[in-house]
Amino acid sequence: MIKKCLYCSKVINKEPCWTHKYFSERKFCNKDCAALYGMRTRVKQNCLICGKETSTSPSDIKLNRGKLCSPKCRSLWLSQNIRGINHHNWKGGKYIDQGGYRRLIQIHHPRACCDGYVLEHILIAEKHLNRFLKDGETVHHINKDTSDNRPENLYLFSTGGEHTSFHHSVKRGDISGDIKSNIIH
């Protein structure tokens, strides 16, 4: 049986000198024909991010790939679409940081960090005060347990300096440190 090249229709030699799936099955007479045949079957489409025309193989389209033209566009697409609940490492929008403080996702909150998380005790204080905390206001854990965010365990200092001087006074022994929550009315 005589086999012909799928691209140029030349008769294929019996023993190809290279090993690749296209060549070992002897569908093409040489590497150039195989590459040209692959280019012929490519499908053109526009990049989802920049709109630039790009070409991809039909198999990539079947696997829902090949919609972006470059690593830069892929990175932009991932940052816009694979976040929050869609991210493979999503754990419900809350975690405990290294200091033992609970953090919750609140992307548009004024006190959100660059990652979109806010300290839970701040959110609880704001909920009970019916307002956002003002600049400089600091929430203190009365029992020093950073994971105990009950309103009765939270005290609001009007400035960070006031909070710091409270801790220094307790450390020196000037005051006992027993205070009651000023968040609950």
Tell me which residue has tokens 């590497």: 31
pLDDT one-digit tens code per residue, 33-69: 887 877 777 788 899 899 999 888 877 877 778 888 8
| Pairwise CA distance, residues 72 & 142, whole Å | 49
- pTM for the whole structure: 0.58
| Residue among 30, 31, 58, 56 nearest 45 (CA) | 56
| Residue among 43, 74, 40 nearest 56 (CA) | 43
Domain boundaries, the chain: 94-172
pLDDT one-digit tens code per residue, 80-137: 888 778 888 888 899 999 999 999 999 899 999 988 899 999 999 999 999 999 999 9
Q: Which residues contact 93 (CB under 8 A, 6 or more apart)?
A: 84, 104, 105
